Each structure stands twice: as structure tokens, then as C-alpha cells.
Amino acid sequence: MEISINIKKRIKSKIIISEKIDFKKEIGKFKYDRAVIVTDKKIFKIFKDRINIAPLITINSDRTKEFDEIKGIIRFFIKNKMTRNSLAIAVGGGKISDMTGFASSIYLRGIRWISIPTTLLAQIDASIGGKTAIDFEAKNIIGSFHNPFAILIDPSLVISRKENLNEAMGEIIKYAIIADKNTSQNLQKLMPLIKKDFNALKKAIILCVKFKSKMVSKDPFDEKGIREKLNFGHTAAHAIETIYKIPHGNAVSLGIKFAVKLSRELNLINLDNYRKLSEIMKYDGFKIKLNKKDFEYFLKLVSKDKKNKGFSNYFLLINDKMELKGFKNIKEKTIEKTWEELCEEYS
């Protein structure tokens, strides 16, 4: 006998993109018994007047996502008698949304949560798609799929931190490379303006959010290969992020450069297309020194990447039709040559 149970998980998110959102009013429209806010100390200082709408816990403003911090958040849920009808509200960058989403997914077997992203990277990427995670031995190794019930994106929040724009450029470059032709062309027009023109910034946010939402809706649990595209550049990026302890978005710029160079090295793209991609990638906007000597560590980390499907290495690469395809077990020598080329560009 075979019995099957069909379950439709809660995977809907309502996304609002608007300037000067009245958070109290928007959240007041939802039905819930209690709510708490999870944020960090820096963000609280800047936005306390706008988010003074529920009991609040602040966690560290650093980049690591620790298990102990999850315990702290859950203790706060318990202290505030949060029930299955309660709401957890994340106010912050990708760290805060990843952690609040994860804590909400395991507390009482899952409660609803809302994301109010305050970095550009979180507005265009981390808050969308329901992936939540914390670090444990490796980056993002523990996590769950738990879509926020609502995502309230106020573009004016991101300008209080100048690094926000630079750090998001990596993901914007990614979208400009992997998105449909229309989105990609529009993003390419906006890219030189994003850092100086607020209207361009708003338009770019809308384009990225629409594109990611579409991809995520087609493949909500990352099982069909559609969402895999969103990982372009991320295998090398996660290794570089770990070695040089740099922000995720900056590492993504370098990871994409690595993937494009590796694609060229393996003759998947011609010189013309390589140059076109280089034009898009030039907007990364930050400086770093990479060291050829770090290759061994880099190789060890890419071999351990959680996306490598059990192969000794696995990279998403790009071809002349601008299609992405996974390549496995690439020769160490080829990876090393590509690493050295990247180091030469960042020496």
C-alpha cells in the first residue's frame, strides 16, 4: 500500500516597495496577537523612532551568524509569550533576516515573520526567497526554507550606511548577467547611476526584486535547477569571503569575476563576450588585495562548498549564449590558473 500526503507549505510573501513606509500602520493591517522586533544595536540607534512598535531585542552588528544568538532570540520569544499567531519582525541586513527567519522557522515549529531590510543587499536579495541560515563550522550550513509573510522595502533606509551600495553591487552585477534581456539591459543602464541618483537606486531595487521573486516563485524550494542561477559566482565568493573576511556582496563581485574568467579559460565564452561581461563587472567599486599564495586554502574551501553536489568541485559557468551550466571536477591546474589571473587583477 502506498499513501501520500500533499502539503502546501506557506510560501507566499507580500512585498511592498515604497519610500517612507509607515511600519506601524502596515504591520497593523495584519492579524496577530503579539509581535517582537529583532534588530542590531547599530540599526536600532539609527531607526529607533520608526521601529518603536513592539518589544525589541538587539543582537551583535558583526557579520557572523552564531547558534548562540538564535538561542537568545528564541529566549526572547518565550519571554514575550509569543504564540503561533505571533509575528517576529526582522529589521536589518541579511544577517538579521537570515537569523530571524531561522529562529521563526523552528520556534513552536514555525511562526510568521516579517522582513524590513535595511541594507541594499538585503532589499534586493537576502530578504526574498525564504532561505534562512546560520553559520556552523561553515557558512550557512544550518538553515531552513521559511518565507517571510511580508517584506517591507523602504529604499530610503539604505542610505544611512555608505558601504551598503558598494556591497550590493556584486548581487546587482549578478542580476545584470543572469536576468532576462529586458531586466539585464535596464539594470546595465542604471548601474553607473545607482550610487549617485536615488531614483536610479529605487528603479534598480524594483527590477531586482521582481526578477528574484519570479525565479523563487518558479522554484520555491530550490529543487528544479531554476534557482541555481542565483548562485552564479557564489562558490568562489563564499571561499573568498571566508579567506579575506570581507562582506558577502564584495565577495560576490570577485566570485563572479572568477566564474567568468574560468568560463573563458575553458573556452566556453569568446573574447568578445568576455569583454562585454567585463563591462558589466567593472561596477564592483571596491579595492582589495588577493594573494596567489592563498590558492590551497581557496581550493580546500571550494571543494567543501555545500553546492558542489558531492563532486570534488562544482562551478556554475557561462557560455556565449549567456546561459549558465554546472561544471564538475574541473582540473586543479585550471582553477589555479584562473585564481592567479584574478589575483593579478587585484594585486
Ligand X SMILES: NC(=O)c1ccc[n+]([C@@H]2O[C@H](COP(=O)([O-])OP(=O)(O)OC[C@H]3O[C@@H](n4cnc5c(N)ncnc54)[C@H](O)[C@@H]3O)[C@@H](O)[C@H]2O)c1
> Can you say whether residue 108 is alpha, beta or left, with left for phi > 0 and alpha for psi between -120 and 50 degrees?
left
What is the distance between the alpha carbons of residues 151 and 141, in angstroms, rounded to a whole number? 24
Q: Looking at beta carbons only, is 143 or 260 nearer to ligand X? A: 143
Q: What is the largest CA-CA distance in the chain?
A: 64
Q: Single out the catalytic residue among 147, 164, 166, 231.
A: 231
Q: Looking at beta carbons only, is 162 or 333 nearer to ligand X? A: 162
Q: Looking at beta carbons only, is 112 or 264 nearer to ligand X? A: 112
Q: Which residue has the cell 565568493?
A: 237
- Residue 161 near ligand X by CB under 6 A: yes
275 is an active site residue: no
What is the distance between the alpha carbons of residues 40 and 44, in angstroms, rounded to a whole number? 6
Q: Looking at beta carbons only, is 92 or 255 nearer to ligand X? A: 92
Q: Which of residues 48-77 bind ligand X (CB under 6 A)?
A: 61, 63, 65
Write the binding mask 13 to 52 for ligand X: x where contact by CB under 6 A, - elsewhere: ---------------------------x-xx--x------
- Residue 154 near ligand X by CB under 6 A: no
Q: Looking at beta carbons only, is 98 or 284 nearer to ligand X? A: 98
What is the distance between the alpha carbons of residues 184 and 262, in angstroms, rounded to a whole number? 22
- Residue 304 near ligand X by CB under 6 A: no
227 is an active site residue: yes
Write the binding mask 78 to 117 for ligand X: x where contact by CB under 6 A, - elsewhere: --------------xxxxx-x-------------------
Q: For 31-62, give one letter per residue: b (16+ CB within 10 A) or e.
A: ebebbbbbbbebbbeebeebbebbebbbbebe
146 is an active site residue: no
Backbone angles phi, psi at 142, to 5 degrees: -115, 130
CA atoms lying within 13 Å on the CB side of residue 321: 3
Residue, CB closest to ligand X:
94
Q: Are 36 and 82 in contact (CB under 8 A)?
A: yes
Q: Which of 21, 57, 125, 175 binds ligand X (CB under 6 A)?
A: 125
Instruction: Name the DSSP letter for residue 52.
Output: T
What is the distance between the alpha carbons of residues 209 and 124, in angstroms, rounded to a whole number? 5
Q: Which of residues 230-289 bind ligand X (CB under 6 A)?
A: 247-249
Neighbours of 187 (CB within 10 A): 22
Active site members: 109, 131, 171, 212, 223, 227, 231, 234, 238, 248
| Residues binding ligand X (CB under 6 A) | 40, 42-43, 46, 61, 63, 65, 92-96, 98, 118-119, 121-122, 125-126, 129, 131, 140, 157-158, 160-161, 167, 247-249
